[in-house]
Structure 1
């Protein structure tokens, strides 16, 4: 299973760089949904003091990504580094693509959550995964499309295009479906495991975020 995921990750990464991943393929791999953690699972996770443990039944096959060395730019070209995490206990990093319908469907919920959870020390960041040209440069037309989607979906939070540096990082090598969501702490270090696929509702998002926030606070 693990080798299959690595192979699929390599195939998707190549397709992303070539700009040839089809919408149909994306939707078929991205439409799986996650089941939010139960209260009993959250309770069990709180009893684990070593590091960040959110789901005690997680088998470790979806590798979290360390963003502590982040160096990128946002959609406006403003530099972004790991200091963007410093003022928040937890950051939700949602990797999406402009052609991915499940990605777009969950973005309005994330826009609301970004506003509602700010006072709790939680922020949301989006990473746009399909803006690279085949030569490794950023596509202006894709950047415009991404900005338009952000406006239309109300996903009014920081978005970062996946440039060549991010493409060559652990992020791209671990990514095999859109959307995929990662959780990191105030240093950009991973919290819990990645969530692959569309989260089905705002309530489910809240359950996941609450569980990861509890893990951070418990470990602290």
Structure 2
């Protein structure tokens, strides 16, 4: 119990610092994923224990990568909208991939993530990442959750990340426009 409280306290401190820096370092965060940067190499597992890596991008014209963590209320609140969008996007050759940033090797947090996903009716793929130099460096540059990236079939991050939820009308229109542009370029 004492160890769990210590881990929770550390996670809360990290989240507080991340939120504090988000307002001050928005430009830095956007620069981290500017146009045509490669999404870093990664390995991980989905919630069923299946191995996943960056090869997942090759299967679709666009992969919408949504970064979230179990203590992020906004992340959790947008999940039903993301589930709906994921079903609509499948028809356009667009995949939605959730990456839960706080699981790593913690089974308690993995179980909490599974409960959250089940309670929100989420069926799109969600993964936890293994440690790795490239992906660890990338993840430390993310200061706002949720953060959403559009990745093309070749693993390139297209455009700036969308910081915050994407279920508002303005953000929703913007993401649809960007997805359509990436799909058009994929067909060339």
Name the TM-score class by shorter chain.
0.7 to 0.9
The one-character-per-residue Cα deviations of 1:43-81 (angstroms, maximum 9, x if unpaired) are: xxxxxxxxxxxxxxx998442163363322212221112
- Residues in 2 aligned to 1:88 and 1:94: alpha-carbon distance in whole angstroms: 16
- Residues in 2 aligned to 1:95 and 1:107: alpha-carbon distance in whole angstroms: 11
Query: Gaps spanning 5+ residues in structure 2: where?
Result: 1-6
Q: CA RMSD in A?
A: 3.0
Identify, as 1 or 2, the structure richer in helix.
2
- 1:22-171 → structure 2 map (5 Å cutoff): 22=12, 25=16, 61-64=30-33, 66-67=38-39, 69-132=41-104, 138-165=105-132, 168-171=135-138
Deviation at 1:151, TM superposition (A): 0.9
Identify, as 1 or 2, the structure richer in strand.
2
Deviation at 1:101, TM superposition (A): 0.4
- Between Structure 1 and Structure 2, how many residues are aligned? 172
Deviation at 1:27, TM superposition (A): 9.7
- Residues in 1 aligned to 2:82 and 2:133: alpha-carbon distance in whole angstroms: 22
Contact 2:144-2:164 at 8 Å conserved across structures? yes
The one-character-per-residue Cα deviations of 1:130-183 (angstroms, maximum 9, x if unpaired) are: 113xxxxx1111001101111111221111113322785342132112111111
- Residues in 1 aligned to 2:131 and 2:117: alpha-carbon distance in whole angstroms: 22
User: Which residue in 2 is equivalent to 1:206?
Assistant: 172
Label 1:76 to 1:26 Cα distance change in 2 as closer, same or farther (>3 A): farther
SS of equivalent to 2:32: coil
Deviation at 1:217, TM superposition (A): 3.4
Query: Gaps spanning 5+ residues in structure 1: where?
Result: 1-17, 33-57, 133-137
Deviation at 1:214, TM superposition (A): 2.7
- Specify which structure has the bigger relative contact order, considering alpha-carbon pairs within 8 angstroms and separated by 6 or more residues: 1
Contact 1:96-1:179 at 8 Å conserved across structures? yes
Deviation at 1:113, TM superposition (A): 0.5
**1:185 and 2:175 aligned:** no
TM-score (norm 2): 0.77
